[in-house]
Structure 1
Amino acid sequence: MTRIAAVVLAGGRGERLGGVRKAGLKLWGRRLIDRTLANLSRHCAPVLVSTGRIDPALLQLPDDVVAIADLDLPIAGPLAGLLAAADWMGKEATAPDLLVSIAVDTPFVPDDFVPRLAAELPEGALAACATCGPAFYPTNAVWRRESLARLSARIGEQTLPRSLRAFLEEIGAHAVDWRPDADGDPFSNINTLANLIALSRRRASDD
C-alpha cells in the first residue's frame, strides 16, 4: 500500500473573518482542525499542520501531529504552507513519495478525498488537484515528492510561483473532478461570515 503524508494548510489569518483563526472555528461543536485531522488520520502518516507564524501550542494539536511553521520568506498563505511542508519532506529521508494538502476550512471534504486523489494521480504526473465542475481547488491536492523538490529549489533561484494555482498549472497537474453532492460543492470553504453561516445551515438541513 502506498504511504501518503499530509499537510493541513492552517496558517491563514482569517482577515475576512475579522482576524479569527479558521483552524479554531467550531462548526456543530467541533473545531475545523479536528474535523480535518480526523479525515486525514485514517489514510495518512505523518500528518503535518502548517501553522503559519503563530505558536503551534495555540492550536492544541494531538501529540502525533507535526506542526510546521512558515519559512523565513516574504510570502504567506497556502503557498507558504506548502513550501514549509516541502522543506520538511526534503529533510526526512523516510518521508513518503506522496503528500496530500488540504485547506483547514473545508468541513465537507469527501471521505474518499485522499485515496481517490492518490489512485487517480497518473503515472508520471507531478500532482493532481481536486475540482468540482468549473471550481478549481489548488489547496486540495496530492503532490509527488519530485514536485515538492522542484518547488523548494525555486527558493534559491528566487523564482517562486505567484500562487499554488500557478505552480499546479506550470507542472501540468491532473484534475480529479468530484460531482456536487445533494447540498452542493464538497469543497466549499469558509472565507467570510456569510460562508460560515451558509455552511452551518447546510449541515442543519441534513439533520
Structure 2
Amino acid sequence: MQVTALILAGGRGTRMGGADKGLVTYQGVRMIERVLARIIPQVDQVIINANRNLDTYQTLGYPVFTDASPHFDGPLAGMQAGLHHTETDWIVSVPCDSPLLPLDLVQLLGAAIVKEKSLMAIARSTSGNHPVFCLMHRSLLASLTSFLDCGQRKVSTWQMQHQPAYVFFEADQAFTNINSIDVSQPNTSHSTSHAS
C-alpha cells in the first residue's frame, strides 16, 4: 500500500484568533514541522493543503494545493484537493495542528483497511472519533465532489456513506488539537492501538 500524507492547513484558524495554525510555533517549532516529522516516516509522499501563506508553505519542500473553492469550505475541501492531486492510490489526511499524532497511525489504519476490506479507515480514541485522521482510497474523489457540490460540509456524514473501518488508539492525547498559541503539551512518542 503506497500512501500520500495530506496535511490539512487550509482553515481560517478562527479558534486561534485567525492565526495560520500550521505556522504557529509549538514548543519552539512550527506546528506543521512537528506534524511533518511524525508523518514523513509513515508515508511515501507528502502534500499540503493550504489557502493562505502559500509561499511560506512551499518553502517546506512539498507540493502545496489550495481548495477548489475560495470559500474555506472546511476539511472536506482539503481532502478533495488531496484526492485530486495524489499520485498514490491511498491518502492519509492529518490536521496541521496535531503535533502529537501517532507514529503508527498509517500502519494501523492500513491494517484495518486490509482486514475489513474497506476503502476508508478512521482513528478513534476515548474522546470519540477523529474523522480528519483518515486513510482513504483515491476512488472516493467522485463521491466527495458530489457531496460538496450538494452543499454538504460535515466530514463524518460523508464518511458514513462508505462503511469506514475504525481503529482505536489508546493514547487519546495523540489527537490533541492545539488551539491556543500558548498551549503546552507533553511529548507523546507512540500509541497502542487496535481495530474495532
If the TM-score is normalised by the length of the shorter chain, which range does it land in?
A: 0.7 to 0.9
Give the deviation of 1:202 after TM superposition.
3.3
Q: Render the CA deviation track for 1:18-62: whole Å, top value 9, x for unaligned.
A: 11110011111111111111222212232110002x241133532
Matched ranges for 1:1-207 at <5 A: 2-52=1-51, 54-63=52-61, 65-72=62-69, 74-89=71-86, 95-121=87-113, 122-154=115-147, 158-159=149-150, 161-180=152-171, 184-192=172-180, 196-197=182-183, 200-203=184-187
Quick check: 2:73–2:153 contact (8 Å CA) kept in 1?
A: no
The amino acid that maps onto 1:113 is: L
Q: Could you say if the C-alpha distance between residues 159 and 201 of structure 1 is closer, same or farther in structure 2, counting changes exceeding 3 Å?
A: closer
Give the deviation of 1:170 after TM superposition.
1.8
Quick check: 1:46–1:66 contact (8 Å CA) kept in 2?
A: no
Give the deviation of 1:172 after TM superposition.
1.4
Give the deviation of 1:109 after TM superposition.
0.6
Quick check: 2:35–2:100 contact (8 Å CA) kept in 1?
A: no
Q: Could you say if the C-alpha distance between residues 149 and 24 of structure 1 is closer, same or farther in structure 2, counting changes exceeding 3 Å?
A: same
Q: Supply the distance in 2 between the matched residues of 1:101 and 1:7 (Cα, whole angstroms).
A: 5
RMSD of Structure 2 on Structure 1 (CA): 2.2
In structure 1, stretches of 5+ residues that fail to align are: 90-94
Quick check: 1:86–1:151 contact (8 Å CA) kept in 2?
A: no
Q: Secondary structure in 1 aligned to 2:63?
A: strand
The amino acid that maps onto 2:90 is: L
The amino acid that maps onto 1:118 is: G
Give 1:92's aligned residue: none
Taking structure 1 as the reference length, the TM-score comes to 0.81
For the pair shown, the structure with the greater C-alpha radius of gyration is: 1
Give me the identity figure in percent: 28
Give 2:191's aligned residue: none
Give the deviation of 1:107 after TM superposition.
1.3
Q: Supply the distance in 2 between the matched residues of 1:13 and 1:191 (Cα, whole angstroms).
A: 12
Q: Secondary structure in 2 aligned to 1:130?
A: strand
In structure 2, stretches of 5+ residues that fail to align are: 188-196
Give the deviation of 1:9 after TM superposition.
0.4
Q: Secondary structure in 2 aligned to 1:120?
A: helix
Q: Supply the distance in 1 between the matched residues of 2:22 and 2:12 (Cα, whole angstroms).
A: 10
Q: Supply the distance in 1 between the matched residues of 2:109 and 2:48 (Cα, whole angstroms).
A: 19
The amino acid that maps onto 1:171 is: H
Give the deviation of 1:72 after TM superposition.
2.5
Quick check: 1:10–1:22 contact (8 Å CA) kept in 2?
A: yes
Give the deviation of 1:159 after TM superposition.
2.6
Taking structure 2 as the reference length, the TM-score comes to 0.85
